[in-house]
Amino acid sequence: MISKEMSMGKAVLDHPRLLPLFPRFGIRTGFGEMSVMEVCHSSGINPDFFLEIANAYLDEAFVPAEGLSRFTLGTVVEYLTATHTWYMEVALPGMEQKLLDLLNGSELSKKEVALVTGFFDDYRKEFTEHITREEQVVLPYILELEKQSQMERPDPDFHRRLKEYSIREFAKEHDRLEISLENLSMLIIKYLPPFDDQESCIRVIRDLKELVRDLEEHADMEDRVLVPRVTELEQQLLQEGGAA
Amino acid sequence: MNRSGFILAVEPYLIRKGLASLLNRVPGVRVLKEFDNADRLIEYLETNSADYLIISQLIFDQASGLFISRPDLLEKTILVTERDVTQTPGELRSSIHPGEKKEMILEKITGMFDTARAEPVTNLTPSLSNREVTIVRMISLGLTNKQIADRLFLSTHTVITHRKNISSKLGIKSVSGLTIYAIVNNIITIGEVTSKPDE
């Protein structure tokens, strides 16, 4: 667990798993003696939100405090959007480049190379579709929900829709984007002919593994931090609407 | 990741809620239903299924008839016992004691599906039917829906339905994704895929 008072430098040294979060929050290294709270303030981040995400990342059994709206859902949505951008603009292209370098320097047949590159192209398309759906349907729904819950008289139309759709539906159909990447690792480890450049091969396998873990953690974080908050708000709005 | 559904039948409120909160934090696990007595549990299981069951000693004793008529349930059941956990009744897989450490309890819960997965069925995802495996194989060989339909004496519509089911079961939509799935699950060899003629 990390806390607001802890030195950010020490938090990172003790928990290097936090590192991938930094670019998404726009946090940059060079912390000096600043505490977690100070770093958050200087990067324009709500420290409560940062702590909730960071601790959810570090501890699988971490349970966010209930009933406290110490940060808005708008903050969560902003973070998710930044994370998506990071996947699309940094993580996936980086992974693809490493794969291509490995394949280009290899003795693989054209067909074998095409198998992998074709796979990665399709994977990126699926990934993009998934994120587009989230950004066009799910995130706007969350923002609207928050807006409605702050209004004295929520829109009856929205209230009606709320009875039919809930964030739980989204969580249920939440595709697990890491499965295909795991298959790709397995293909390289077990079924493609050995690469001459084993160092690069190992690096690719390790990077794939890291990306898989990151995607799992991201999805779990959505399930554990985002979904409960949104559900809370849905319930609240449904009850208020019912009373009106 | 397939989500495993757990049913909790434990009468002490705090223990049940504690377990539920722990279970919901395990990736891939979901609590389907909670019960505080044997009657409701029996009634529920008449029409519903569960992947796993966590049951207290008292409810286990009261529902003994259920386990006699459905011996398959024993394999999927963890007992919550006040007694010594080293003495799990022979037919049950595992038991937990409310006084145990979180890590211990988590290990037992995840241990349930680790061994279930390791069962020597095949190394395919067990949820694919034989027909679906055949279709995955044909897709990987580059056959079109029409060609698959002709070879299996099905309508194209039926093939499309199968493909939809396959995709939702595996979480893989693209042909290239299914091809790699088929290779790593030994449905097809990489040689068959890379030696197929160009269209």
What is the band of A36 on the pLDDT scale with cuts at 50, 70, 90? very high
Give the predicted TM-score (pTM) of the model: 0.65
Residue B124 within any structural domain of the chain: no
Residue B186 within any structural domain of the chain: yes
| CA-wise closest residue to B174 among A120, A84, A187 | A120
Residues 45-104 of B with CB under 8 A from A: 102
User: What residue spans of B49-172 are helical by DSSP H?
Assistant: 57-62, 64-69, 102-117, 130-140, 145-152, 156-170
Residue A228 within any structural domain of the chain: yes
Residue B123 within any structural domain of the chain: no
- Cα distances (angstroms) measured from residue B52 to each of A80, A163, A172, B87: 33, 31, 19, 20
Is B65 within 8 Å of B41 (Cβ atoms)?
no
Does pLDDT of A206 surpass 90? yes
Owning domain of residue A46: 8-58
In angstroms and rounded to an integer, the radius of gyration of the C-alpha atoms of chain A is: 21
Does pLDDT of A181 surpass 80? yes
Considering the domain architecture, whether residues A42 and A78 belong to the same structural domain is answered as no
Phi, psi (rounded to 5 degrees) for B8: -110, 120
Does pLDDT of B124 surpass 60? no
Q: The CATH number of the domain where B69 resides is what?
A: 3.40.50.2300
Does pLDDT of A8 surpass 90? yes
Residue B169 within any structural domain of the chain: yes
Q: Does B173 touch chain A (CB under 8 A)?
A: yes
Q: Which one-letter amino acid corresponds to residue B15? A: I
Residue A65 within any structural domain of the chain: no
Considering the domain architecture, whether residues A135 and A94 belong to the same structural domain is answered as yes
Q: Where is the domain boundary, B117, B146, B175?
A: B117
DSSP state of A82: H
Considering the domain architecture, whether residues A161 and A228 belong to the same structural domain is answered as yes
Considering the domain architecture, whether residues A140 and A236 belong to the same structural domain is answered as yes
Residues 110-129 of A with CB under 8 A from B: 111-112, 115, 118-119, 121-123, 125-126
Cβ–Cβ below 8 Å for B180 and A175: no
| CA-wise closest residue to A226 among A94, A103, A21, A76 | A76
Considering the domain architecture, whether residues B156 and B64 belong to the same structural domain is answered as no
Nearest-CB residue to A61 (from B102, B171, B183): B102
* Separation in Å, CA of A183 to nearest CA in chain B: 6
Q: Which one-letter amino acid corresponds to residue B39? A: D
Q: Does B183 touch chain A (CB under 8 A)?
A: yes
Considering the domain architecture, whether residues A152 and A218 belong to the same structural domain is answered as yes
Does pLDDT of B163 surpass 80? yes
- State the best of B176, B186, B198 to mutate against chain A, taking most chain A CBs within 10 Å: B176
Chain B CB contacts of A62 under 8 Å are 25
Considering the domain architecture, whether residues B95 and B159 belong to the same structural domain is answered as no
Strand-by-strand arrangement of the B4-9 sheet: B29-35, B4-9, B52-56, B77-80, B94-96
* Separation in Å, CA of A124 to nearest CA in chain B: 11
The most confident of the ranges A54-68, B17-31, B133-147 is: B133-147
Q: Per-residue pLDDT tens for B95-105?
A: 888 888 888 88
Is B91 within 8 Å of B98 (Cβ atoms)?
no
- State the best of A117, A122, A128 to mutate against chain B, taking most chain B CBs within 10 Å: A122
> What is the predicted ipTM?
0.72
Q: How many domains does chain B have?
A: 2
The per-residue pLDDT for B88 is 62
Residues 68-97 of A with CB under 8 A from B: none
Considering the domain architecture, whether residues B93 and B169 belong to the same structural domain is answered as no
Does pLDDT of B92 surpass 80? no
The per-residue pLDDT for B182 is 92
Q: How many domains does chain A have?
A: 2
Residue B86 within any structural domain of the chain: yes
| CA-wise closest residue to B15 among B96, B93, B110, B109 | B96
The per-residue pLDDT for B169 is 83
Owning domain of residue B152: 130-194
Average pLDDT for A59-75:
71
Considering the domain architecture, whether residues B19 and B106 belong to the same structural domain is answered as yes
Q: How far apart are CA B30 and CA B4, in angstroms?
A: 6
Considering the domain architecture, whether residues A25 and A129 belong to the same structural domain is answered as no
Q: Which of A32-36, B16-20, B96-100 has the lowest mean pLDDT?
A: B96-100
Considering the domain architecture, whether residues A144 and A193 belong to the same structural domain is answered as yes
